[in-house]
Structure 1
Amino acid sequence: MTNYLISFPSEAMMLSEAELSEVVETSHAVVRDMRDAGVLVFAGGIDESTPPVRVAADAAVTPGTYPQTVGFNGGFTVIDVPNREEAVEWAARVAAACRCDQELRAFGEDALD
């Protein structure tokens, strides 16, 4: 089995207030289906009200983030499925529920396996 990341940036969801509640309901239904199918590892979004920090090896905390990740936001789902085809099927369901394209990426092998 391979873990896949399904994600999108916040800006991709071009929704009115009226559409938002329906999208929340349909996207949560897809996540429940993932859980029921036994493929869900994690689902959630970045809390954009909490600013990011960088943490060094000595535990020093620096406000902010790497310049190239300033736009890192949105929703993220990790699934564990046997192949890319199944991952694409789940990503398509998320895209339909969220009304925006999803990015699909495979994780590398787990170092502990």
Structure 2
Amino acid sequence: MSKYMLIMRGTDESNAAMMADIDEMIARSRQFIEDLFKAGVYVAAEGLDDPGKGVVVDFSGEAPVVTDGPYGETKELFGGFFLLDVASKQEAVEWAKRVPAPRGAKVEVRRVPESDEVPQVDQ
């Protein structure tokens, strides 16, 4: 089994569509999580607050610079995630196809490396 993160990426338009019928979206999301749980692949799921309420810490200069809100030129924003423990990338993709997402949204599928795959620092 491998862990995969299904990263929800939305645009202003897809986020507006989701908010237009938020009750239905919440119901569909709850059902999706229940399906993941019943299949034994659910690890975690979280949504994120409005990006305008966050900050960006930019490390491109000598010292980190903190600014309010998301990146200025961002077309898509990370809105939340589902973390699954599945047998293969293809299984993760099949679950991603079932995510209750509004038109225009995208779901990025990324494997979470095991601890033994991460380079270790010699001590």
Q: If the length of structure 1 is used for normalisation, what is the TM-score?
A: 0.70
Number of equivalent positions: 108
Correspondent of 2:87 among 82, 87, 97: 82
Write out the 4+ residue segments of structure 1 that deviate beyond 6 Å after TM superposition: none
Alpha-carbon distance between aligned partners in 1 of 2:16 and 2:56, rounded to the nearest angstrom: 28
Identity %: 30
SS of equivalent to 2:49: coil
Pair 102,73 (structure 1): closer, same or farther in 2 beyond 3 Å: closer
Amino acid at match of 2:54: P
Unaligned segments of structure 2, at least 5 residues: 58-64, 118-123
Under a length normalisation based on structure 2, what TM-score does the superposition of the two structures give?
0.65
Residue ranges of structure 1 left out of the alignment (5+ in a row): 55-61
Equivalent in the alignment of 1:73: 78
Contact 2:6 2:108 in 1 (8 A): yes
- 1:3 matched residue in structure 2: 3
State the distance in 1 between where 2:91 and 2:34 align: 16
- Cα deviation for residue 25 of structure 1 reads 0.9
The structure with the largest strand share of the pair is 2
Q: 3-state DSSP class of the match of 2:116?
A: coil
Whether 1:109 and 2:111 are equivalent positions in the alignment is: no
2:101 to 82, 87, 98: 98
Contact 1:13–1:98 (CA under 8 A) maintained in structure 2: no
Structure 2 distance, partners of 1:17, 1:80, is 29
- In structure 1, the partner of 2:120 is none
Query: Is the Cα contact below 8 Å between 1:46 and 1:74 reproduced in 2?
Result: yes
* TM-align CA RMSD: 3.4
Query: In the TM superposition, what are the counterparts of 1:33-48 in structure 2 within 5 Å?
Result: 33-48=35-50
- 1:31 pairs, out of 30, 33, 48, with 33
In the alignment, is the contact (CA less than 8 A) between 1:9 and 1:72 conserved in 2?
yes
